[in-house]
Amino acid sequence: MAETPLLEVVGVTKHFGGVYALTDVRLAVAHGEVHALIGPNGAGKTTLIHVVSGALRPDAGRIAFAGRDVTPLSMHSRSAAGIARSYQVTNLFPRLSALDNVALAVQARSGTSFRFWRPVQRETQIFDDAREVLAQVGLAGREGRRAGSLAHGEQRRLEVALALATRPRLLLLDEPMAGLGPEESEQMVELIAGLARHASLLLIEHDMDAVFRLAQRISVLVGGRIVFSGLPDEVRAHPEVRQAYLGEAS
């Protein structure tokens, strides 16, 4: 019997007035898989991430996670269940230190709060956990820097750290290489490859070199519809994909 996918998107449709952003989308992410979602601008990729994370409710269809229908659950409840995400645009507290940004995410996961009557040991554990996550994304030694003063590549890694602090089973990464130079992009690819050893990933990315290096499976979204899902070599060879997204004649 085939293993139930960690994530199943079943017949999801989302429209805004008369504009359909997603139509009957079906997608599955296996346990331990890096699954890339590619497509031209405006294809509906970020809308799908919003629906999977719980930021948007679908107008039809359902989202199943670890065999459970999570469609009615809030974004917070899905995060508690093990779904975390990053954003296209860096979403940090720029005046707080890198350590404090991650500590807030750890605190949200643990359900504790920073209050003067809390045991010092409890707060020490929160910051120890935050330091561990920062080291995991290559930001050891940058804990005290204000998030807004970090280089763009470091901010992107800090964004990933916030998601990792929730200890997700599924990590949704929305264009993590956006705005990065070649060296920073290479560092991000290495980081994502390392993350894949600990969680499943659904990755939106326009850097095709990175996609084909990282992904075990790729789904192609065009005009709000999945036109093909398959192995990287199958995607490269598919005539509709080559024409619609890779910009090649069929």
Instruction: Give me the residue spans of the domains in the chain.
Output: 1-75+170-192+200-250, 83-167
Residue 248's pLDDT is 54
Q: 1-75+170-192+200-250 and 83-167 share one CATH topology?
A: yes
Walking along the chain (250 residues) 10 residues at a time, the average pLDDT comes out as 86 95 97 94 94 96 96 93 81 90 83 49 80 93 93 92 91 90 92 91 92 95 93 88 60
Residue 239's pLDDT is 82
pTM of the model: 0.87
Q: In what order do the strands lie in the sheet with 200-204?
A: 83-85, 170-174, 200-204, 34-38, 217-222, 225-230
Residue 121's pLDDT is 46
Residue 178's pLDDT is 87
- Topology of the domain covering 1-75+170-192+200-250: Rossmann fold (3.40.50)
User: The CATH number of 83-167 is which of 3.40.50.300, 3.40.50.2000, 3.40.640.10, 3.40.1190.20?
Assistant: 3.40.50.300
Residue 90's pLDDT is 67
Residue 166's pLDDT is 87
